[in-house]
Copies of this chain bind each other. A is one copy, B any other.
Amino acid sequence: MLRTHTCGELTIADLNKEVTLTGWVQKSRDLGGMTFIDMRDRYGMTQLTFNSDDDAEMRAQARELGREFVIKVSGKVIERSNKNLKMATGEIEIKVSKLELLNPAKLPPFLIEDETDGGDDLRLKYRYLDLRRNPARNNLVLRHKMAQEVRKYLDGMDFIEVETPVLIKSTPEGARDFVVPSRMNPGEFYALPQSPQTFKQLLMVSGFDRYFQIVKCFRDEDLRADRQPEFTQIDCEMAFIEQEDILNVFEGLIRTLFKNVKGVDLAQVPRMQYTDAMRLYGSDKPDTRFDMKFVELNQIVKGKDFPVFDQAELVIGINAKGCAEYTRKQLDELTDFIKRPQIGGTGLIYMRHAADGSLKSSVDKFYNEDDLKKWSEAFNSEPGDLILIMAGQTDRVRKQLNELRLEMGNRLGLRDKDKFAPLWVLDFPLLEWDEDSGRYHAMHHPFTSPKTEDIGMLDTNPGQVRANAYDMVVNGIEIGGGSIRIHDRELQSLMFKHLGFSVEEAQNQFGFLLDAFEYGAPPHGGIAFGFDRLVSIFAGLDSIRDVIAFPKNNSGRDVMIDSPSTIADEQLKELKISTTV
Contact = CB atoms under 8 A, between A and B. Distances in A.
A565 B105 contact: no
Contact of A166 (B105, B208, B230, B487): B230
B579 A580 contact: no
Contacts of A165: 230, 549-550, 552, 558
B140 A162 contact: yes
Nearest to A220: B183
A129 B556 contact: no
Given A103-B523, A189-B564, 18 more contacts: A23-B207, A24-B207, A41-B207, A104-B520, A129-B519, A131-B207, A137-B207, A140-B160, A163-B232, A163-B548, A166-B230, A167-B564, A168-B561, A180-B180, A182-B556, A185-B555, A185-B556, A577-B579
A136 to B, nearest CB: 8
Interface string A532-568: 0000000000000000111010011110111111111
28 contacts: A1-B240, A23-B207, A42-B209, A103-B520, A105-B519, A128-B519, A140-B160, A140-B162, A141-B160, A143-B163, A144-B162, A163-B232, A163-B548, A164-B550, A165-B549, A167-B552, A168-B561, A169-B558, A170-B565, A170-B567, A170-B571, A172-B568, A178-B180, A180-B180, A183-B220, A185-B564, A190-B563, A576-B580
A564 B188 contact: yes
A488 interface: yes
Given A172-B568, A241-B2, A70 B521 contact: yes
A566 B169 CA distance: 9
A23 B521 CA distance: 10
A565 B198 CA distance: 17
B199 A581 contact: no
A389 B576 CA distance: 49
Contacts of A222: 184
Interface string A297-310: 00000000000000
Q: How many copies does the complex hold?
A: 2
A24 to B, nearest CB: 6
A251 to B, nearest CB: 15
Contacts of A240: 1-3, 22, 41
A175 to B, nearest CB: 12
A151 interface: yes
Contacts of A218: 166-167
A236 interface: no
Contact of A186 (B3, B42, B169, B581): B581
Contacts of A578: 577-578, 580
A144 B128 contact: no
A548 to B, nearest CB: 8
A161 B137 contact: no
Contact of A202 (B40, B128, B190): B128
A371 interface: no
A192 B575 CA distance: 15
Interface in A116-152: 126-129, 131-132, 137, 140-141, 143-144, 147-148, 151
A417 to B, nearest CB: 24
A168 B241 CA distance: 40
A110 to B, nearest CB: 11
Interface in A187-235: 187-192, 198-199, 202-203, 205-209, 216, 218, 220, 222-223, 229-230, 232
A489 to B, nearest CB: 9
A178 B189 CA distance: 11
A581 B511 CA distance: 27
B131 A169 contact: no
CB-based closest 8 A-B pairs: A105-B520, A169-B563, A131-B206, A188-B564, A187-B581, A182-B564, A68-B520, A128-B202
Given A2-B240, A103-B520, A206 B137 contact: yes
